[in-house]
Amino acid sequence: MKDVVIAVVGCGRIAQNAHFPAFAKMSGIRVKYACDLIEEKALKMMEKYDFVENAITDYNIALADKEVDVVYVLTPNYAHYTVAMDALGAGKHVFCEKPITVNYELSCEMAKKAEEVGKMLNIGVCNRYHKSVEKLAELNAKGEFGKIYHVYCSFRQPRSIPGLGGAFTTKAQSGGGVLIDWGVHFLDLILYILGGAKLKTLTADAYCEMAKDMKSYKYKGMWAEDTADIENGTNDVDDFITGHIRTDKASISFNGAWAQNLDRNEMYIDFLGDKKGARLDYCSLFDLYDGATLETSREQYDIPDMYQKEDEAFINSVVTGVKDRNNIENILESAKLLDYLYKSADIKKEIEF
Ligand SMILES: NC(=O)c1ccc[n+]([C@@H]2O[C@H](COP(=O)([O-])OP(=O)(O)OC[C@H]3O[C@@H](n4cnc5c(N)ncnc54)[C@H](O)[C@@H]3O)[C@@H](O)[C@H]2O)c1
């Protein structure tokens, strides 16, 4: 069978830290293009990985190449829609990093386009491929928890606003703050582990408080600091959000903070079942408790390379034509959830579906 030919658009952090290292361990693929608007980033990938064949700055070159089967969209959020739609329009299968796009409406358009052209479109909600997540989904499907009646989740850290003033904190470019950046993983995992829960009602409150005055925001380290623009940039996104969601399976409550005046990292999901409960410590280990016995996953479920698993599953879907768990069809409900939580926070009212 011929190798699947890949073009990667966007050679930034997630490309360098996750997908290129995953490609290096995979067989049955060729990476014909590494593309980035900043040529040095594409060249760096070609220098580092001998399997990268060309470095380009215009992704249209890869789209025009009939040999290319698959396009990886690893750009910032605001460019996902344009690059993915162009790639699907050119007849390519697409893997697009999370979040799908900056809002639900555009995400639905992307799903429709993939359906129309008959191509695979997967989204990088990588944690669905984490071993602990797989195990909890399996335990729930087997009825180990009894009835899960409520899920509580916390994604809160003391000072973790990324790239303050740049694309991450500019709503027009990112779609939002801590909810779309971290909540996208947590809330998606909850719907997934519950077995594909459907939304009934939700309400949320969002705040942009901790870096209102960007110059006085205190931090020790900053993810994506090279994209920050503290002097002249914008910060109009949520650094704290809280919400309550009713689904057809369980109710969910959550708090998320990119920054808070509490020196605590609280990153976990609690599944409360009437037979057993579990805490998933983001996003690696879990404890299972039934009131008498505490089972812990600490030794058994160490951190696997979930990026490699999600990339292998995607390439397998391209080859076999069978959609996998990260196909856009299975992610739209969590994209809808994020979008409507923001809508509820804007109008300060509960929303019913
Ligand atoms: N799955 C995860 O756990 C995870 C983790 C981090 C980031 N992400 C997602 O990955 C995406 C990228 O994040 P990042 O941190 O790597 O960003 P980044 O800014 O480090 O990299 C993005 C790169 O895309 C390039 N780019 C932008 N528009 C382009 C275009 N039209 N053509 C070619 N290149 C273009 C930029 O020059 C930049 O080098 C974001 O959507 C983010 O949400 C996912």
On average, the pLDDT of the chain sits at: 95
Q: Please indicate whether residue 10, judged by its CB atom, sits closer than 6 Å to ligand 1.
A: yes
pTM (two decimals): 0.94
Mean of pLDDT values over 58-80: 97
Residues 6+ apart with CB under 8 A from 50: none
Residue 300 has pLDDT above 90, yes or no: no
User: Which atom in ligand 1 lies closest to the alpha carbon of residue 126?
Assistant: 1
Mean of pLDDT values over 230-257: 98
Closest CA to 241 of 225, 228, 227, 253: 253
CA distance 337 to 257: 18
Q: Which helix (H) or strand (E) holds 267?
A: strand 266-273
Distance 145 CA to ligand 1 centre (A): 38
Mean of pLDDT values over 61-81: 97
CA distance 328 to 110: 9
Q: Which helix (H) or strand (E) holds 192?
A: helix 184-193
Mutation probe of ligand 1 site: the residue of 8, 11, 14, 168 with most atoms within 8 A of C-beta: 14
Q: Please indicate whether residue 98, judged by its CB atom, sits closer than 6 Å to ligand 1.
A: yes
Q: Which amino acid is at 108?
A: C
Residue 11 has pLDDT above 70, yes or no: yes
Residue 299 has pLDDT above 70, yes or no: no
Q: What is the pLDDT of residue 301?
A: 57
Superfamily for the 128-304+335-352 domain: Dihydrodipicolinate Reductase; domain 2 (3.30.360.10)
User: Which atom in ligand 1 lies closest to the alpha carbon of residue 10?
Assistant: 24
The answer to whether 56 and 62 have CB atoms below 8 angstroms apart is: yes
Collapsing DSSP to helix, strand or coil, 63 comes out as: helix
End-to-end C-alpha distance for the chain, whole angstroms = 46
Write out the CATH class of domain 4-126+307-327. Answer: alpha beta
Q: Which amino acid is at 177?
A: G
With 0-12 / 13-18 / 19 or more C-beta atoms within 10 angstroms meaning exposed / middle / buried, residue 241 is buried
Answer whether 4-126+307-327 and 128-304+335-352 agree in fold.
no
With 0-12 / 13-18 / 19 or more C-beta atoms within 10 angstroms meaning exposed / middle / buried, residue 302 is exposed
Collapsing DSSP to helix, strand or coil, 262 comes out as: coil
Provide, rounded to the nearest whole percent, the portion of the chain with pLDDT above 70: 98
Predicted confidence band of residue 274 (pLDDT cuts 50, 70, 90): very high
Distance 144 CA to ligand 1 centre (A): 39
Q: Please indicate whether residue 338, judged by its CB atom, sits closer than 6 Å to ligand 1.
A: no
Q: Which amino acid is at 113?
A: K
Per-residue pLDDT tens over the stretch 219-238: 989 999 999 999 999 999 99
Per-residue pLDDT tens over the stretch 103-156: 999 999 999 999 999 999 999 999 999 888 998 999 999 999 999 999 999 999
Residue 288 has pLDDT above 90, yes or no: no
Residue bearing the CA closest to ligand 1, atom 7: 14
Q: What is the pLDDT of residue 302?
A: 56
Predicted confidence band of residue 1 (pLDDT cuts 50, 70, 90): confident
Residues 6+ apart with CB under 8 A from 119: 88, 91, 92, 93, 94
The values of phi and psi at residue 30, to 5°, are: -130, 140
Residue 147: count other Cβ atoms within 10 Å of its Cβ: 11
Task: Supply the DSSP symbol for 18.
Answer: I
Q: Can you give the residue ranges of every domain in the chain?
A: 4-126+307-327, 128-304+335-352
CA distance 242 to 127: 22
Residue bearing the CA closest to ligand 1, atom 21: 12
Q: What is the pLDDT of residue 131?
A: 85
Token pair in block for residue 76: 């910032």
Distance 52 CA to ligand 1 centre (A): 18
Residue 158 has pLDDT above 60, yes or no: yes
